[in-house]
Amino acid sequence: MRITSGILRNRRFEVPDSEVRPTMESVREAIFSSLGNTCDGLKVLDLFAGSGALGMEAWSRGADSVTFVEQSSNVWKNLQQNIQSLENNDLGKAKCIKSDAVKWLARAGQQFDLILADPPYDLPDAMAHTLDGILEHSVLTGQGILVYEMRSRGEPVVSKDWKIIRDKKYGKTRVLILKLNKDAT
């Protein structure tokens, strides 16, 4: 896989063969295009990081910091190696945490401007648990954005606390861009 834009444009990174489903390049380009193609100065959280493709795109596009959260030991080790191989002085900070993504939200202790969430498609109630955890623990800034990736044939489970800004299907993938409703903050 390769990074599509920014400082690390065209740099390749390793993807574990069987444990992850990385976001396709065309979908990553579409996501970041809809966000304005820059992440300058943002604090970014990549939940269910897997290969780290989404977080590395944000990092390459100027994020001040990116926190990657991944539960699988093998995938986490691969992600750490990718981050180390791509680090340079022109990039913001990157941190790789080995933890269950939803449980980690309770101890995040900080807010993020952009949250990228791409849980395994077959994880039961992943969307509800993720959105509830972000809201309950105030992990997203008031003006922050959540990008949530899911299977295209599924229906989003979104409470009244969230507003869907964009809902787009790309083959088997569906990407939602959400913001907190003003009353929820």
pLDDT in tens, 39-72: 999 999 999 999 999 999 999 999 999 999 999 9
Distances (CA, A) of 93 to 73, 112, 148, 161: 22, 14, 23, 31
pLDDT at 4 over 60: yes
26-184 under CATH 3.20.20.450, yes or no: no
Number of helices and strands in the chain (H, E): 5, 7
Query: For residue 96, is pLDDT > 70?
Result: yes
* Domain range summary for the chain, segments of one domain joined by +: 26-184
CA 116, CA 138: separation in Å to the nearest integer? 15
Using 50, 70 and 90 to split pLDDT, how confident is the model at 17? confident
β 173-180/162-170 pair status? antiparallel
Q: What distance in Å separates the CA atoms of residue 53 and residue 151, rounded to the nearest whole number?
A: 17
Q: Count CB atoms within 10 A of the CB of residue 143.
A: 9
Residues 43, 110 contacting (CB under 8 angstroms):
yes
User: Residue 101: what pLDDT?
Assistant: 96
Question: At residue 183, does pLDDT exceed 80?
Answer: no
Q: What are phi and psi of 60, to 5 degrees?
A: -65, -30
pTM comes to 0.94
Average pLDDT value over all residues in the chain: 93
The pLDDT value given to residue 18: 72
pLDDT reported for residue 184: 53
Cα–Cα distance, 178 to 62 (Å, whole number): 21
Rounded average pLDDT over 141-148:
96
Collapsing DSSP to helix, strand or coil, 146 comes out as strand
pLDDT at 12 over 70: yes
List of residues 6+ apart from 156 with CB closer than 8 A: 127, 148, 150, 164, 167, 174, 176
